[in-house]
Amino acid sequence: MEERRPILQMRHIHKQFPGVKALSDVQFRLFPGEVHALMGENGAGKSTLIKVLTGVYSIDRGEVELEQKRIVIQGPQDAQAAGISTVYQEVNLCPNLSVAENIFIGREPMRFGRIQWKKLNAAAAKLLEERMHLKIDVTQPLHVYPIAIQQLVAIARALNISAKVLILDEPTSSLDRGEVRQLFDVMNKLKSEGLAILFVTHFLNQVYEISDRITILRGGEFVGEYAASALPRIELVSKMIGKELKLLEELPKQPAAAEKKESGILMEAKSLGKRGAIEPFDLSIRQGEIVGLAGLLGSGRTEAARLLFGADAPDQGSLVIGRGGSAQTPRRAIDNGIAFCSEDRKGEGIIDDLTIRENIVLALQASQGWFRSISRKRQTEIAGQFIEALNINPPNPDQLIKNLSGGNQQKVLLARWLLTDPKLLILDEPTRGIDIGAKAEIQKLVMSLSQKGVSVLFISSELEEVLRVSDRIVVLRDRRKVKELQGDEMSEQSVMKAIAGGGEG
């Protein structure tokens, strides 16, 4: 191991953004034939480091060496030409083009200025089959395939550009278990073929399952590089967070579920359903109760939440909130004390070009009506309160929200809704793509809210998380509510069984 020379070496990398030191004196090594996980909290500098590598950002100081030769990467094309390819979580391909074309566009086999379609399709099919074990019709447009396949296609494209270094940026965030398995098989195969893979993820299990080595960043600084086998999980977490904290383990198990049984019903849905989205389901939520919604990707979790919030119109069933309130439209739902944090933070939640302060007061302002403006002083006060309470970083209310990391953006969103004093908070994947520290903070916050009498509908792909926070768990499968578990029935085993369909039909 010691004699091998790294294919990629980054030394003393510095990068400064206006007001933020994104990277200072960071180093990184990548050897051929290894999977190297880059770990760090939100804001640790992972994305920045990757963007430096892919040529999206230029560095202020430091050097990058590829195969012992110093290189300066000036743009995405440069990086690709040098042999550094990246596959992002959001698949960056063209959904309207065929699979084959997506792999080869820009480098199509040409003859006399004419694209050789037959050759192109055959080459694509061969590439996918040999290197990805994927047998699909490559002439179909990309959008007909699920995200997992699209990601493999993106990797195939990257490999075809004779990649020496493959960067996988959060590739597993939107994949289900089987799809992750498939991706890992491909990664293992590529690794054995000598490719160097840089892997970024928030799932600790996956880190240990696939990586050989781990580099940890914290606050834009290099913490260390470790062999995965020599770094116990708890140590990894503490190094990432920088405190000797067993955060997640220490979270109190939700107490007094029994007490909440006494409280009144806040919302009741009766055979609520929408064709093609979710089959009719019953669901009641008591005051102060946390109801977890578990299920695989595409099982109808978000669809159910959208019905409850009035974002989609149900085609059957009824929904009553409190005493006779309804949620036919989001506006009505908000008036009745329901708040909905969408899983699509970027698209449906935050407004990029506004500051933290403006994003926080948005919902409050809307509920007050546009003519009763909230004074600047009051706004800053409110923002200050939430920044402190939720530990939003940077603690500057006038920072633009687009400069925040995912976890902090999520906290701002939460603050926005908390400000309206909701009775029921619907959280759709509130911890997706954010790090452990922020995750724990959000979970804690959810629990303390429930103690104050706020009900929460908690949607998450992470079973562990759902189990930890929920008083009751509703399991969805294939767009159907299949089980409701509470108290002692709630265990990883029982929920998984329900998700997998072992229990009842």
Q: Which residues bind another protein (CB under 8 A)?
A: 40, 42-48, 76-77, 80, 86, 88-97, 101, 105-106, 108, 110, 113-115, 117, 140-141, 143-144, 147, 150, 157, 169-170, 173-174, 343-347, 349-350, 402, 404-406, 409-410, 432-434
Could you tell me the smallest distance in angstroms from the CB atom of residue 212 to another protein?
23
* Residue 109 burial class via C-beta count within 10 angstroms: exposed 0-12, middle 13-18, buried 19 and up: middle
Residue at 60: amino acid letter: D
Could you tell me the smallest distance in angstroms from the CB atom of residue 165 to another protein?
16
Q: With beta carbons less than 8 A apart as the criterion, state whether 442 and 431 touch.
A: yes
Q: In what order do the strands lie in the sheet with 265-274?
A: 278-286, 265-274, 316-321
- Give the span between the Cα atoms of 98 and 7, in whole angstroms: 33
- When the beta carbons of 8 and 350 are compared against another protein, the nearer one is 350
- When the beta carbons of 88 and 184 are compared against another protein, the nearer one is 88
- Give the span between the Cα atoms of 10 and 49, in whole angstroms: 10
- When the beta carbons of 87 and 187 are compared against another protein, the nearer one is 87
Residue 394: is the preceding peptide bond cis (ω within 30°)?
yes
The pair of structure tokens assigned to 406 is: 């995912």
| CA distance to 61, 360, 362, 366, 398, per residue, from 370 (Å) | 48, 15, 10, 6, 21
- When the beta carbons of 155 and 290 are compared against another protein, the nearer one is 155
Which is nearest to 439 in space by CA: 458, 424, 455, 426? 458
Over its C-alpha atoms, the chain yields an Rg (Å, rounded) of 24
- Give the span between the Cα atoms of 23 and 21, in whole angstroms: 6
DSSP annotation of 68 = T
Could you tell me the smallest distance in angstroms from the CB atom of residue 97 to another protein?
6
- When the beta carbons of 219 and 322 are compared against another protein, the nearer one is 219
- When the beta carbons of 9 and 48 are compared against another protein, the nearer one is 48
Question: First vs last Cα of the chain: how many Å apart?
Answer: 52
* Residue 3 burial class via C-beta count within 10 angstroms: exposed 0-12, middle 13-18, buried 19 and up: exposed
- When the beta carbons of 282 and 315 are compared against another protein, the nearer one is 315
Q: With beta carbons less than 8 A apart as the criterion, state whether 239 and 42 touch.
A: no
- Give the span between the Cα atoms of 324 and 351, in whole angstroms: 33
Could you tell me the smallest distance in angstroms from the CB atom of residue 86 to another protein?
8
The pair of structure tokens assigned to 76 is: 């995405």
- When the beta carbons of 140 and 373 are compared against another protein, the nearer one is 140
- When the beta carbons of 176 and 335 are compared against another protein, the nearer one is 176
